[in-house]
Structure 1
Amino acid sequence: MSQFDYQLKLSIVKGIIAGYKDYVKVRNEAHKKLKVSNGYAFVKANHIDHHVALNTEKFVENTKRSAGPSWKFLLFSPTDKHQEKIFHFVVVNRRTFNKDKVNKGRSLVQNSGEPPEKKYLTELIELNRGVDFEKLSQSLHVNHQLNADKMLFDMINNDSNDKIKFIMITYDVDNISKMLKEIKVWIPNPITYSAIEFLDLTEEMNDVIKNDEHYQINEEEIEVLKQDREYVEWIDTEVFGFEIEEIKESDL
């Protein structure tokens, strides 16, 4: 796999949907078996990372990384025909993502001040140091969304120093229905630590859910999630003050 093409996009989308569906299944099973099962509300990211890995394993390497002693995540790295890593991506909950301060995310505790820097993200965002973001923004403004795929392909696969090396893929869940409502691709800027919305994969997500019953979740299954408070969708383990482990440059 040498490009961010339709097959890769669809595999990521299906992985996110399958992971969320699996999470809903586990929540229902725990709700039936246990007197108290609210702790399961905090494992959604694990299920989504796992299924994205399963759906992309033919052409994407995945490596377990640390975001502190209590939390792990998967770093995904598509490879070329020589098994060389082309770029990296992570999948994150939109609720913990702040497009204006990508390296810090959102503060999840009221009146807690600005959240601490997420060192593991800062290391990854730095990989985009050579990207001309002013040119990228202008190109996106001029070109239609349909051309964004080709732009991303060109900026990932060129041999120059300004190639994109790290992207972030976010998913979001509707507060009321508890159904997946969007999937988007972002390019983080290491100068400003802001992110540019590059691709919206929500249409692809809706098509998969509509046309394949394997990815559909019914209202009865989702009911258990409606008992969660809104903050459950936001929770980030870093709120508890764990020190973040840095990613070694040699691993990238």
Structure 2
Amino acid sequence: MDQYVFSKDVNQAIVDGVLQGYKSYLDERRAKKTELNVSGAYAWVKGNHIDHYVAENVADAGFEWKLDKAGYAWEFLKFDGQLKEERFVLIIKSVKSLAKSLPIKKKSKENYLSELAAINGTFKMKDSVEQTEQLSLFFAAKADMETVQTLVSDYRLFYAVIYEVDEAKMISRIALTLPLQKGQIIEVEDLTPYIASSPIEISAEDLKVVRGETEAEEEIASEFDGYEYIIPAKEIKN
């Protein structure tokens, strides 16, 4: 997967942005809980904070961004960059939000994420070995991979940086992935080690404001559990 990875500096910038955005979101939740008699709707703005600070952190790496919209009012940032002369598009999503937005049921309608996932074409697995390890809502597997990619736009690759919030409400895992349309998400690189080297610190006190809450994504994603999370044993062939 080496041809798909970013530099260590870019990885650190992405992770710093995710953590800084999450900390900003927690600060906002705490402030609004003090200011307003009702503030539960702010549970839905976490993604905006994270997108904003990732954009701030990756600007020096040559990433550009544009504001996009999913549905009537859901706004998000879509990042545009180039890796080894190949253009890519990248978004930031929680694992549960990604599961909700990439429906695997036959009757599910295509949306902006399933259309973006088409950029990555169709990956075929050979001799896959199922593992018992469970990665959150994802099923872990190691497989020899080969790919038949069809370009559907000006982009060569579609990345999703995914993050996971644990029971203590801390971001405990971040990964760079290639989502596919058929319920598979291929891990390019586990970015979790960069959390330890980040200057952004989130304390137990910061997390108190959301402790005990159900994540907004959990309320809408439960029926989409069962995604296959793939860690390739060999490099993907173009």
Partner of 1:45: 47
1:234 CA drift (Å): 2.6
1:17 CA drift (Å): 0.5
The two structures have a TM-score, normalised by structure 2, of 0.71
Q: Match for 1:126 among 101, 118, 128?
A: 118
The two structures have a TM-score, normalised by structure 1, of 0.67
Partner of 1:74: 77
Partner of 1:20: 22
Partner of 1:220: 205
CA RMSD of aligned residues (A): 3.2
SS in 2 for 1:97: helix
1:97 CA drift (Å): 2.6
SS in 2 for 1:79: strand
Q: Match for 1:234 among 218, 231, 235?
A: 218
Partner of 1:199: 189
More helix by share: 1
Q: Match for 1:8 among 7, 10, 13?
A: 10
Distance across 2 between alignment mates of 1:117 and 1:8:
34
Partner of 1:90: 91
Q: Match for 2:178 among 176, 182, 187?
A: 187
Contact 1:42 1:235 in 2 (8 A): no
SS in 1 for 2:24: helix
Contact 2:5 2:189 in 1 (8 A): no
Contact 1:173 1:180 in 2 (8 A): yes
**Gap change, CA 1:183 and 1:221, over 3 Å in 2:** same
Segments of structure 2 that go 5 or more residues without pairing to the other structure are 130-141, 145-154, 222-238
Distance across 1 between alignment mates of 2:171 and 2:16:
12
Q: Which amino acid is 2:113 matched to?
A: L
SS in 1 for 2:73: coil
1:15 CA drift (Å): 0.5
Stretch moving more, 9-18 or 195-204: 195-204
Count residues with an aligned counterpart: 195
Distance across 1 between alignment mates of 2:93 and 2:113:
11
Contact 2:23 2:206 in 1 (8 A): no
**Gap change, CA 1:32 and 1:68, over 3 Å in 2:** same
Question: How high is the sequence identity, in percent, across the aligned residues?
Answer: 30
Partner of 2:56: 54
Q: Match for 1:29 among 24, 28, 31?
A: 31
Distance across 2 between alignment mates of 1:28 and 1:234:
21
1:133 CA drift (Å): 4.7
1:231 CA drift (Å): 4.4
Distance across 2 between alignment mates of 1:40 and 1:181:
22
